[in-house]
């Protein structure tokens, strides 16, 4: 069912019919939910999933699609669990980056693992549909290579960016930056349906 859902999502992206249901959401709460779900899955492999949320006001308000942002974190955490050895560690970090002379304001989400890492020559194509790292085939890791393509499409639809840093034998960090300059809502406000 998940594969069918992923294929349908990819078709929506291709057709330009991906719709975001935007409302005022608390990214800290979304991260907590994603962490709690991932922690259960990781426990079967003796992995630790750590959560570090820096939310001075108790929440990180953002105008976005709650379900799709949850899907971003779920995809990244699922990959980290798959590609981290038993007993490894996965960190989910969330913080707000205030605007300054060099950057616009943003909410930053990071998923870092102590997995086997991704060779530099494979990194550029990882966000392409059906792309899989060689290690996925070597280790017979389940999946068809849609997760990161879907994740990037959701991040792009929110006007954000996603990047990765990886070193073989050390681990991988995926970083999502969601701009808040124009999308930081002061109050609950109405739900917006946005086609991306």
The tens digit of pLDDT for each residue in 47-62 reads 999 999 998 888 899 9
- Percent of the chain at pLDDT > 70 equals 75
For the chain, the average pLDDT equals 83
Give the Å distances, CA to CA, from 16 to 6, 10, 13, 76, 136. 15, 10, 5, 24, 30
Closest CA to 63 of 32, 26, 97, 93: 26
Strand 106-113 and strand 192-195: the pairing is: unpaired
106 neighbors 180 (Cβ within 8 angstroms): yes
63 neighbors 181 (Cβ within 8 angstroms): no
Average pLDDT of the segment spanning 166-189: 77
157 neighbors 147 (Cβ within 8 angstroms): no
Any idea which of 5-9, 56-60, 103-107, 189-193 has the lowest mean pLDDT? 189-193
Q: How far apart are CA 102 and CA 145, in angstroms?
A: 35
Average pLDDT of the segment spanning 91-104: 88
53 neighbors 13 (Cβ within 8 angstroms): no
Closest CA to 24 of 59, 58, 56, 64: 64
pLDDT score at 188:
44
| pLDDT beyond 70 at 18 | yes
| pLDDT beyond 50 at 140 | no
| pLDDT beyond 60 at 20 | yes
Top-confidence residue, 30 or 19: 30
CATH architecture of the region 2-195: 2-Layer Sandwich (3.30)
Average pLDDT of the segment spanning 123-143: 62
Q: How far apart are CA 179 and CA 105, in angstroms?
A: 6
74-95 confidence digits (pLDDT tens) = 999 999 999 899 999 999 999 9
69 phi and psi angles, rounded to 5 deg: -65, -35
């Amino acid at each position: 069912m998940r594969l069918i859902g992923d294929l349908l999502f990819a078709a929506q992206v291709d057709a330009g019919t991906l719709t975001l249901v935007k409302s005022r959401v608390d990214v800290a709460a979304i991260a907590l939910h994603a962490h709690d779900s991932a922690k259960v899955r990781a426990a079967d492999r003796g992995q630790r999933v750590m959560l570090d949320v820096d939310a001075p006001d108790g929440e990180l308000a953002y105008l976005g699609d709650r379900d799709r942002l949850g899907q971003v974190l779920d995809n990244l955490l699922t990959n980290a669990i798959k590609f981290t050895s038993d007993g490894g560690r996965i960190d989910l970090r969330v913080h707000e980056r205030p605007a300054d002379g060099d950057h616009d304001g943003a909410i930053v989400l990071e998923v870092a693992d102590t997995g086997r890492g991704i060779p530099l020559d494979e990194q550029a194509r990882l966000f392409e549909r059906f792309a899989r790292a060689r290690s996925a085939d070597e280790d017979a890791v389940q999946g068809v290579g849609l997760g990161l393509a879907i994740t990037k499409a959701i991040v792009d639809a929110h006007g954000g960016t996603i990047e990765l840093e990886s070193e073989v034998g050390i681990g991988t960090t995926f970083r999502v930056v969601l701009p808040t300059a124009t999308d930081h809502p002061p109050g609950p406000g109405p739900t917006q349906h946005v086609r991306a």
